[in-house]
Amino acid sequence: MEITFLGTGVAIPQRGRVQSGVLVRLEEKPLLIDCGSGVLSRFPEAEISHTEVDTVLLSHLHLDHVADLLCLLKANWLRGKTDMRIYGPEGTEDWLSRVLGAYEYIMDEVDVDVIDLFPGKEFTPEGLDCEITCTAAIHSVPTLAYRVTAADGEFVYSGDTEPCREIMDLATESDLLIHECSYPPGTKVTNHTTPSTLAEILEEYKKEIGSICLTHFYPEMRGHEREAIYRLKGYFEGEVILAEDLMKLEL
Ligand SMILES: [Zn+2]
Ligand SMILES: [Zn+2]
């Protein structure tokens, strides 16, 4: 399984980081997790065709995680690929029918299945060789963290969240935890994570999770990268990685 970070940024524009998106290459077809603004333009840069994607998993419906989804649907349709399955938290189906409703000429041409998920749901996306389970994250809107299990490895993607036990439990005995880390150490913030708040909960799980990759960085994180790694290394035995756009990890 190969994981490509298409976007590691947030709602504020910054050089080198577009909004959230992770592409997971499985044996047959890829899985796209989140599709924020700028993610579509990363496909040619990652040398991946966007028409390969017909399954998208959304952590939540904030714009920095979904803004390019309609653009992806349109780009695929213009290249003759019209089927798509979209999985997301409660409200995803209603949201997509409303935004797609504003573009009838696209809606009439594409064949989109939308599946609302709930914490605890376990499923295998149609046509993909992996299993997915989810749990609730702590964010300002319904948000799901996902565990993706394939033959060659498993990882957890936190979505936007405060650090919480539910996600750590989901990540227990996985190879990799991709966790959001919006702000630098010491920032007082709710609904998001800093290296300090992640470190507090991580100590209990320091032998339970293979490695950690931080992503979803606000511009304020720039210059605090070494500090973030140092802070977490004190509480965690595995590797700590900071994601970059177009970085690839192999499981
Ligand atoms: Zn976000
Ligand atoms: Zn969010």
pLDDT per residue over 112-154, tens digit each?
999 999 999 999 999 999 999 999 999 999 999 999 999 999 9
Given pLDDT bands bounded at 50, 70 and 90, which one contains residue 28? confident
pLDDT per residue over 70-100, tens digit each?
999 999 999 999 999 999 999 999 999 999 9
Given pLDDT bands bounded at 50, 70 and 90, which one contains residue 8? very high
CATH number of 2-249: 3.60.15.10
Contact assessment for residue 51 and residue 29, using Cβ atoms and an 8 Å cutoff: no
Identify the three-state secondary structure at position 137: coil
Q: Structural domain boundaries of the chain?
A: 2-249
Identify the three-state secondary structure at position 184: coil
The pLDDT, as a whole number, for residue 238 is 93
Residue 161: pLDDT above 90?
yes
> What mean pLDDT do residues 158-163 have?
98
Enumerate the β-bridge partners of residue 131. 149
Residue 183: pLDDT above 90?
yes
Ligand nearest to the CA of 190: 2
Residue 69: pLDDT above 90?
yes
Q: How far apart are CA 54 and CA 116, in angstroms?
A: 16
CA distances from 35 to 59, 104, 186 (A): 10, 21, 29
The pLDDT, as a whole number, for residue 242 is 97
pTM of the predicted model as reported, rounded to 2 decimal places? 0.98
Given pLDDT bands bounded at 50, 70 and 90, which one contains residue 228? very high
Q: How would you class 42 by CB atoms within 10 Å of its CB: exposed for 0-12, middle for 13-18, buried for 19 or more?
A: buried
> What mean pLDDT do residues 28-44 have?
97
> What mean pLDDT do residues 33-44 have?
98
> What mean pLDDT do residues 50-55 have?
97
What are the catalytic residues?
64
Cα-to-centroid distance, 177 and ligand 2 (Å): 18
The pLDDT, as a whole number, for residue 15 is 97
Cα-to-centroid distance, 151 and ligand 2 (Å): 30
First to last CA, the chain: 5
Cα-to-centroid distance, 89 and ligand 1 (Å): 15
Mean pLDDT of the chain: 97
Half-sphere CA count of 121, side-chain side, radius 13 A: 16
**β pairing state of 153-157 and 176-180:** parallel
Shortest CA distance to 3 belongs to which of 244, 239, 180?
244
Ligand nearest to the CA of 180: 1
Q: Where are the beta strands (DSSP E) in the chain?
A: 2-7, 21-25, 30-33, 55-57, 83-89, 111-117, 122-123, 131-136, 144-150, 153-157, 176-180, 211-215, 239-242, 248-250
**β pairing state of 248-250 and 2-7:** antiparallel
Name, in order, each residue with C-beta under 8 angstroms of 245's C-beta and a sequence gap of 6 or more: 5, 6, 7, 8, 9, 16, 17, 18, 42
Ligand nearest to the CA of 137: 2
The pLDDT, as a whole number, for residue 35 is 98
Torsion of CA 219, 206, 146, 158, to 10 degrees: -20
Q: Which residue has the tokens 């419906």?
A: 61
Cα-to-centroid distance, 61 and ligand 1 (Å): 9
